[in-house]
Amino acid sequence: METDEKSLLGSVGGKFSFKKLPGGNLDSSLRYHLNAKHVAASTDNARSSSRQFRQSTLDKMTDKLTNSLAKWIAVDCRPLSVVEDQGLEAVLQIALSDPTYEMPCRKTISNKIHQLYDTEKQAKVDLLKKTECVAVTGDHCTSISNTNYIGVTAHLIDVTEREWHRKSFALTMQKMTTRHYAENCAEQFLSMAEAWGVQQKVTTIGTDSARTMIAAARQLPFVRMLCVAHILQRAITVCLGDSRYNDTLAKCRKIVSHFKHSPANTEELHREQTALGQKREPLIQDAVKATLCKQKHKLIMLTTTEWDKLPRLGTILEPCRYVTEPLGGETYVSCSVVLPALRHLDRNMEVSDEDPAYMVRFKTAFSKDLSQRQATLNHEWLKLATVLDSSFKDLKCLPKGEREGVLNSLEALLQTESKSATPEPTEEPAKKKRLLLCASESDSDEDVGHNRALSLYRAEPTISETDCPLQWWSTHAGAHPQLSVLARKYVASPATSVPCERLFSLMMLPHQLESRSGASQQHHTDPRESQERTKWPEPPAARPEPRWSRPVRPRSDYDLKICGHTR
């Protein structure tokens, strides 16, 4: 008994305290004893646990914040020197409620970017493995340091839980050490496809109308798709010269330079706009005239006739701007919009009795030049993409004589697809075979099935041009299984090579930001680092973007002027 009592004595000479529970049992937990007999020790232990918990929480938050910083720098192409900004560090200290927080160093951020890139690349590899068809765009560019790069982007339709989504992302932005010859370009495209394991899945390759890229595309085993935006831009440039607008536009450029290169002239223009009750727009005709009348200059002013030409030119070129925006998008279907957009331009360029002579010349020259350039497009692919788009499946953008040929081509593709997907026949009992042979009256049952599938699709009501065809296929793919396979193949191709040009603009952005801030170019010493900045895909939209809504505009001079495709 004495031994039991001594075993209950604490280290401070007191008895071990117990808590009597309502049921009569005793709670001998150490925490209750510490709170009852050793208040100081219990308080210190609680404080230590609280500090450990708080430190653990801060460590997790700091690690999460470091990952977010690395992703921000990579996605938005910020220079690595941003981690040395004291102002950003102060903001993060306030956000964390931790005045001792220190920004991670460049090396840490660089390692995080490499880790994020490897994770993102693996996700894209997995996505490419499960997809059946991939469309790519490719082009070359030269950086401000006179370095040649080749860029390639991938575009596909991803079906996840019966939802169709168009995915677009960069495959590579690779430095080229060889000359910009067609053979070298074709070799680079093939090596890229092999590296990503899509050499058997690439359906089309989109390029601009440069001779080197056209020659390279001809050497590749992929279907060639020319950039529609580049064709449209070239047609506009040629027609402006043929319609004698060059002199007028040259005078406009000199007037713009007069104000743009002189802050004093710009300020006088703003004062004149305020006096006339106008908004402080860059250039307004009345304010420009009034300002130049008060200044000494050697500019050749526009005549009254030339002033009248400019609004008409803007009106006639508005359809070109209108159709270029849906053609240059990446998050929605654009290939099926090409033929309807070109038909829209043809109707707007029809000569009317009210048109003056110079406008008649412009419309005539534009229609003729664009018609000649359209001959280089892949009309067969574009027609199939159009008929597989539920907005344009009635093919009203085509002449009536061509519609039947498109439907016949689609029916032939259905037969080919059916034969390639037909499983091998299994051995059946002889009696069942005889019954099946008796029930078959002709060999055209399969053809009837294809006609039926096509007829059911054509019987579906068309959707609005502002609706997303991918949403329509998400809900109707089960009713048209064979056509849905073809739709994923044909509507995935982009109408332009704008995605590649955006990639180049994104690559140039760090250089532009660096030159503006006066920072050094130390963050470009690692070639892999500058390459990986461009490999982050666009953040997916919460829902499919309306077809004719304004797409994300490139952050460069790429979409200058009308059609968004200036070389």
> Looking at residue 218, which CATH number applies to its domain?
3.30.420
**Domain span at residue 83?**
53-129
Per-residue pLDDT reduced to its tens digit, 261-304? 778 777 777 777 777 776 666 655 555 656 666 666 667 777 77
pLDDT (mean) for 26-50: 55
Q: Looking at the domain assignment, is residue 110 inside a domain?
A: yes
pLDDT above 70: residue 47? no
**Does pLDDT of 546 surpass 50?**
no
Q: Are residues 210 and 150 in the same domain?
A: yes
The answer to whether residue 343 sits within a structural domain is no
DSSP bridge partners of 301: none
Q: How many C-beta neighbours within 10 Å does residue 452 have?
A: 10
Look at residue 50 in the predicted model and tell me its pLDDT. 53
> What separation in angstroms does the CA of 527 have from each of 107, 115, 523?
15, 16, 10
Residues 138 and 196 in one domain: yes
Report the largest interatomic distance among the alpha carbons of the chain, rounded to a whole angstrom: 123
Question: Residue 354 belongs to what H/E stretch?
Answer: none
pLDDT tens readout for residues 82-101: 999 999 999 988 887 888 88
**Domains: count for the chain:** 2
* Structural contact between residues 548 and 467, judged by C-beta atoms closer than 8 angstroms: no
pLDDT, residue 221, reads 92
For residues 104 and 175, state if they share a domain: no
Distances (CA, A) of 20 to 13, 26, 32, 314, 317: 22, 5, 11, 91, 90
> Over the stretch 145-183, which tens digit does the pLDDT of each residue have?
788 888 899 999 999 888 999 999 989 888 888 888 889
Q: In terms of pLDDT, which residue wins out, 351 or 425?
A: 351
For residue 169, tell me if it sits in a domain: yes
Domain boundary among 75, 96, 129: 129
Collapsing DSSP to helix, strand or coil, 539 comes out as: coil
139 in the same domain as 107 = no
Taking the C-alpha atoms of residue 457 and residue 452, their distance in angstroms, rounded to an integer, is 9
The CA-to-CA distance between both ends of the chain, in Å, stands at 99
Average pLDDT over residues 32-42: 56
Query: Is the whole-model pTM more than 0.75?
Result: no
Six-digit token pair at 42?
Answer: 């219990």
192 and 147, same domain (yes or no): yes
136, 124: one domain: no
Give the dihedral of Cα atoms 386, 390, 393, 395; nearest 10 deg.
-70
Residues 180 and 149 in one domain: yes
Contacts of 354-357 spanning 24+ positions with Cβ under 8 A: 356/312
Q: Is residue 32 part of a domain?
A: no
3-state secondary structure of 155: strand
Residue 164 and residue 80 share a domain = no
Do 187 and 175 reside in the same domain of the chain?
Answer: yes
Q: Which residue would you say has higher pLDDT here, 313 or 47?
A: 313
**What is the pLDDT, as a whole number, of residue 258?**
74
Is residue 159 in some structural domain?
yes
Given 129, 160, 195, the domain boundary residue is: 129
Q: Do residues 61 and 105 both lie within one domain?
A: yes
Residues 385/335, Cβ–Cβ less than 8 Å: yes
Is 556 part of any domain? no
Which stretches of 197-337 are DSSP H helices?
Answer: 211-218, 228-242, 246-260, 263-275, 285-293, 304-327
Q: How far apart are CA 23 and CA 44, in angstroms?
A: 32
User: What 3 state SS string does 72-128 have?
Assistant: HHHHCCCCHHHHHCHHHHHHHHHHHCCCCCCCCCHHHHHHHHHHHHHHHHHHHHHHH
Burial (CB count <10 Å: 0-12, 13-18, 19+), residue 15 = exposed
Q: What is the predicted pLDDT for the residue at 28?
A: 52
Same domain, 113 and 161: no
Residues 139 and 215 grouped into a single domain: yes
**Cβ(526)–Cβ(196) under 8 Å?**
no
3-state secondary structure of 230: helix
Q: Which residues of 322-358 are buried (b: 16+ CB within 10 A; e: fewer)?
A: ebbbbbbbbbbbbbbbbbbbbbbbbebbeeeeebeeb
Residue 414 is assigned to a structural domain of this protein: no
Query: Average pLDDT, stretch 364-368?
Result: 90
Cα separation, 343 vs 370, whole angstroms: 11
Residue type, 73: I
Beta bridge partners of 154: 136, 169
Domain boundary among 129, 152, 177: 129
Examine residue 482 and state whether it is found in any structural domain, yes or no: no
- Reported as a single tens digit per residue, the pLDDT across 469-512 is 999 999 999 999 999 999 999 999 999 988 888 888 777 655 55
